[in-house]
Amino acid sequence: MSQTRYYTVGKVVNTHGLRGEVKVISTTDFPDVRFRKGSELYLFHPSLAEPLKLTVASRRSHKGTELISFQGYPSINDVEKFKGGELKIPEEALLELEEDEYYIHQLVGCQVFTDEGEELGRIVDVLQPGANDVWVVKGKRGEILLPFIDDCIKEVDIAGKRVVCHLMEGLL
């Protein structure tokens, strides 16, 4: 029997007010979907032996964070223990992405080759600094940062865990 994989969509950093709201730093590109009323999330916390299934009762954005309350947890005393926990979704709740869009977990571990056939290494991380994502590749040349733009990334084969790139001047 296979075990369900979960993906983090936010981190509970504090409580807010007395009415059971928690302050969440979102790590998802889809906060309107993940934190809307009725959404199901799973709280992973060191104090819990099993993930706790929660249903969003309300959500509002506040100073760069999300303020979320959950059904059945109406007071600060009910949610105080959630601080430091991570909110996750099961793999089957992942949204379908557009063509040429990828989840970070799909990219990490992909082998990267140049369009001339040279192996550069594996993608170990994806940075999101602003205009475009940057893929961090580690290999025998050390760490290489590849911008996720058409001029650089030529082919992505998620099933084959393989990426082909064009090394633009200045990348090495």
Q: Is 135 exposed, middle or buried (0-12, 13-18, 19+ CB in 10 A)?
A: buried
- pLDDT: which is higher, 103 or 72: 72
With a cut of 50, say whether residue 1 has pLDDT above it: no
Residues 6+ apart with CB under 8 A from 137: 112, 120, 121, 122, 123, 124, 143, 144, 145, 146
SS (H, E, C) 68-112: EEECCCCCHHHHHHHCCCEEEEEHHHCCCCCCCCCCHHHHCCCEE
Q: Is 128 exposed, middle or buried (0-12, 13-18, 19+ CB in 10 A)?
A: exposed
**What is the chain's Cα-based Rg?**
19
Q: Quick check: do 6-93 and 104-165 share a fold?
A: no
Looking at CATH, the fold of the domain delimited by 6-93 is given as: Elongation Factor Tu (Ef-tu); domain 3 (2.40.30)
Q: What is the pLDDT of residue 170?
A: 67
Going from N- to C-terminal start, the domains of the chain cover 6-93, 104-165
Residues 6+ apart with CB under 8 A from 64: none
Q: What sign does the dihedral 81-86-87-89 (CA atoms) show?
A: negative
Looking at CATH, the fold of the domain delimited by 104-165 is given as: SH3 type barrels. (2.30.30)
Query: By C-alpha distance, which of 62, 8, 66, 2 is closest to 32?
Result: 66
Q: What is the pLDDT of residue 16?
A: 95
Q: What sign does the dihedral 138-5-64-36 (CA atoms) show?
A: positive
Q: What's the mean pLDDT in 75-91?
A: 95
What token pair was written down for 90? 């099961």
Give the torsion through C-alpha atoms of 83, 7, 63, 98, to 10 deg. -170
Q: What tens digit of pLDDT does each residue of 107-161 get?
A: 999 999 999 999 999 999 988 887 888 999 999 888 999 999 999 999 999 999 9
